[in-house]
């Protein structure tokens, strides 16, 4: 079962808000519904969002009643702006939209229906390519994992965060499939508990040994010497190797550095944004305070209490041991290596 796919003329995705209590899928008939699903985190994880955006554009083409190529392109431009506005931090969202819009601007199509077919075929290619890229990243990263290692992980980066297989948890999966005996400490990842809800559920399905820990306990286990390596994902990597990831990643990186523990982010080249010089330029999404005060409808404090809810933080490149991509592991200094890997070179 893929996280996001095309089915019966609609976009079908796993409802990640229902996990781990229920595994269910939702069918989305409009690109507006796809954008809303991205915004409310029915689907989340940078690669999964990119694929959802691509399918959303293919859906927009079919949703349009335009009979001419010119009119269809006008409708697609409107849909592109709407989908891109769903969430600001993960660069894969705009990447997925722009990849399909590049076909529109660069191609020549005899009819509106021909353009519709081409967009759907490209969206499907984006999804299939994601799975293959994830497997390559998993193999590259698994070389870093030793038999008997305990791995610390933040947020969720498994199959649910991608079309299938995973990024950082894809590395864990690849190491496990190689027969390595490993254990994973999962930060619960407040306030939406992606680690406790989603990562734990995925490792249960795979049979990988794990423990959920409070976000505040990661330093404790590092100090005790239990953690051998830290693996996290990324929602945007800038040209210098700074990266944005789920809130709490920065403090994990600082603790790993203090305790001399290797710290890696796992990200496909589609998550690398060479247009931004450093992490200071990454837009950080602020989500509703209700996610902090009343997570999943359960009130923790009186509703009038004040709260702030940044969804991401930025980890400076100096805390990184490397960036695991589908084209190899980029080591510091990152600028030239990232340019090469984005260009498709092996590193």
Contact 148, 174 (CB under 8 A): no
How many domains are contained in the chain?
Answer: 2
Same domain, yes or no: 98 and 155: no
pLDDT band at 197 (very low <50, low <70, confident <90, very high): very high
pLDDT tens digits, one per residue of 321-339: 999 999 999 999 999 999 9
Query: Where does the pLDDT of residue 292 fall: very low under 50, low under 70, confident under 90, or very high at 90 and above?
Result: very high
pTM of the entire structure?
A: 0.95
User: Which of 134, 158, 185 delimits the end of a domain?
Assistant: 134
State whether 190 and 244 are in the same domain: yes
Of 107, 134, 161, which closes a domain?
134
pLDDT tens per residue, range 45-70: 999 999 999 999 999 999 999 999 99
**347 in a domain, yes or no?**
no
pLDDT over 90 at 297, yes or no: no
Are the CB atoms for 24 and 38 separated by under 8 Å?
no
In this structure, the answer to whether residues 232 and 324 fall within a common structural domain is yes
Which tokens sit at 110?
A: 């005899």
| 305, 214: one domain | yes
CATH number of the structural domain spanning residue 318: 3.40.50.10470
Same domain, 168 and 312: yes
**In Å, what is the CA distance from 220 to each residue of 156, 200, 227, 323?**
21, 20, 10, 25
Active-site hit among 215, 235, 242, 313: 235
Same domain? For 319 and 172 the reply is yes
Judge if 185 and 123 occupy the same domain.
no
Q: Domain of 42?
A: 4-134
Does the residue 230 lie in any domain?
Answer: yes
Residue 296's pLDDT is 86
Domain end marker among 87, 106, 134? 134
Mean pLDDT, range 132-145, rounded to an integer: 98
| Residue 187 a catalytic site member | no
The DSSP bridge pattern shows strands 236-238 and 243-246 to be antiparallel
State pLDDT tens for residues 22-42: 999 999 999 999 999 999 999
Q: Are residues 151 and 299 in the same domain?
A: yes
Residue 26 exposure: Cα atoms within 13 Å on the Cβ side: 18
């Amino acid at each position: 079962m893929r996280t996001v796919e095309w089915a019966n003329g609609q976009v079908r995705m796993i409802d990640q808000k229902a996990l781990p209590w229920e595994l269910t899928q939702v069918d989305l008939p409009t690109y507006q519904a796809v954008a809303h699903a991205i915004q409310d985190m029915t689907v989340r994880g940078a690669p999964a969002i990119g694929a959802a955006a691509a399918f959303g554009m293919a859906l927009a083409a079919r949703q349009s009643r335009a009979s001419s190529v010119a009119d269809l392109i006008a409708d697609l431009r409107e849909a592109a702006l709407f989908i891109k506005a769903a969430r600001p931090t993960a660069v894969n969202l705009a990447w997925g939209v722009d990849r399909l819009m590049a076909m529109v601007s660069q191609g020549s199509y005899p009819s509106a229906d021909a353009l519709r077919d081409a967009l759907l075929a490209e969206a499907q290619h984006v999804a299939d390519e994601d799975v293959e890229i994830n497997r390559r990243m998993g193999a590259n990263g698994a070389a870093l994992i030793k038999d008997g290692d305990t791995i610390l992980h933040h947020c969720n980066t498994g199959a649910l965060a991608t079309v299938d297989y995973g990024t950082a948890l894809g590395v864990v999966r690849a190491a496990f499939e190689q027969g390595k005996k490993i254990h994973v400490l999962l930060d619960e990842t407040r306030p939406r508990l992606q680690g406790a809800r989603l990562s734990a559920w995925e490792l249960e399905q795979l049979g990988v040994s794990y423990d959920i820990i409070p976000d505040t306990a990661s330093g404790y286990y590092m100090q005790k010497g239990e953690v051998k390596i830290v693996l996290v994902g990324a929602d945007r990597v800038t040209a210098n190797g700074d990266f944005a990831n789920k809130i709490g990643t920065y403090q994990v990186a600082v603790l790993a550095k203090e305790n001399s523990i290797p710290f890696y982010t796992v990200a496909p080249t589609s998550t690398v944004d060479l247009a931004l010089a450093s992490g200071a330029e990454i837009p950080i999404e602020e989500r509703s305070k209700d996610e902090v005060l009343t997570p999943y409808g359960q009130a923790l404090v009186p509703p009038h209490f004040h709260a702030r809810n940044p969804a991401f933080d930025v980890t400076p490149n100096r805390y990184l041991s490397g960036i695991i991509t589908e084209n190899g592991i980029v080591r510091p200094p990152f600028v030239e290596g990232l340019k090469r890997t984005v260009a498709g070179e092996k590193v």
